[in-house]
Amino acid sequence: MHGCWVVIAFCCVGQLCADQSMKPRTAAPQLATNNPTLTTVALEKPFCMFDSSLCPNKSCIIYLYAMKESASAISSQVTDNTSKPLDSTFHQTSGGQLAPYKAALFNVPDCASPPKLTDIRDVNKVSDILKQYLFRVGDDVNCLYDPNFLAVCNPPLAPDTTYRFKYVLLDSTEGIVKDQTLWSDPIKTRRVKLPLKIDTWPGRRSGDMIVITSILSVLVFLLLAGFLASVSSAVMRSEDSSAETKCVSQTIQSEPRPQLSSE
């Protein structure tokens, strides 16, 4: 089992380093199951996407922008006229409907020195290693309602909605954008399933089957109730008959017997 984890990790790292498409993409299924969810999307971090020579003193950080696909193409810019990144928030853009919003910032992933894959054998370290390779958009459920929250807000995404994402390389010292990826391909969050369409074990059941099952369950309940009632009635009749017989027997025993004449 441990060996399988190591092989999967090596394959995924190879894909991360080899892909120079300059476009965010969803995480490999081996690393993030059930992706996207109703309100989150797990993305691969931008390993080896940006030229390291752009930030020789390692002063750069990564900004992640998100927007709904329905947003206007004109408003998809993430920099102003001076090449400074926009600080648009989730609220200001109506959740990415009007323009991109800054969903996250993190350090530039070190392509030359990735996490030790041998540590993935340790179950306690798997979570930390995955966090270094992946980023989950929409993972903060509290930042929108916390008045003391000062960091970049990464609130849950809307279900059944298509989004696009972009990574931006920012020189934190100069405050200007050095490079940026293309917008990702459209990525759609999952749709909320109606109760009648939810799969139930051991297989899929339609609404008609659920109605029929409910009717049969009621009929079985009524039959069982009738059976119990009849048994109870029979037992009570048996007890009444036994009591009556006992009473008659006691009456007969209590009657005076005729005395025999001595003559």
pLDDT at position 3 is: 41
Q: Which residue has the higher pLDDT, 220 or 46?
A: 46
Is the pLDDT at 176 greater than 50? The verdict is yes
pLDDT at position 29 is: 85
Query: Residue range 230-237: average pLDDT?
Result: 75
Query: Residue range 36-41: average pLDDT?
Result: 96
> Taken in order 39, 180, 130, 145, is the CA torsion positive or negative?
negative
pLDDT at position 199 is: 55
With contact defined as beta carbons under 8 Å apart, do 89 and 102 qualify?
yes
Dihedral, 42, 44, 45, 50 alpha carbons, nearest 10: -140
Q: Rounded to whole angstroms, how far apart are CA atoms 132 and 127? A: 9
pLDDT in tens, 96-136: 999 999 999 999 988 877 766 566 667 777 777 788 889 99
Is the pLDDT at 233 greater than 60? The verdict is yes
Q: Which two tokens stand for residue 196?
A: 């009648």
pLDDT in tens, 145-175: 887 887 899 999 999 999 999 999 999 888 9
* Band of residue 8 on the pLDDT scale cut at 50, 70, 90: very low
pLDDT at position 2 is: 42
Determine the number of helices (DSSP H) and then strands (DSSP E) in the chain: 3, 7
Query: Residue range 86-92: average pLDDT?
Result: 90
With contact defined as beta carbons under 8 Å apart, do 192 and 38 qualify?
yes
pLDDT at position 14 is: 44
Query: Residue range 17-28: average pLDDT?
Result: 73
With contact defined as beta carbons under 8 Å apart, do 62 and 46 qualify?
yes
Bond from prior residue into 36 cis (ω within 30 degrees of 0): yes
Strand partners, 168: 63, 180
pLDDT at position 236 is: 75
pLDDT at position 67 is: 95
Query: Residue range 241-250: average pLDDT?
Result: 58
Is the pLDDT at 255 greater than 80? The verdict is no
Query: Residue range 247-261: average pLDDT?
Result: 55
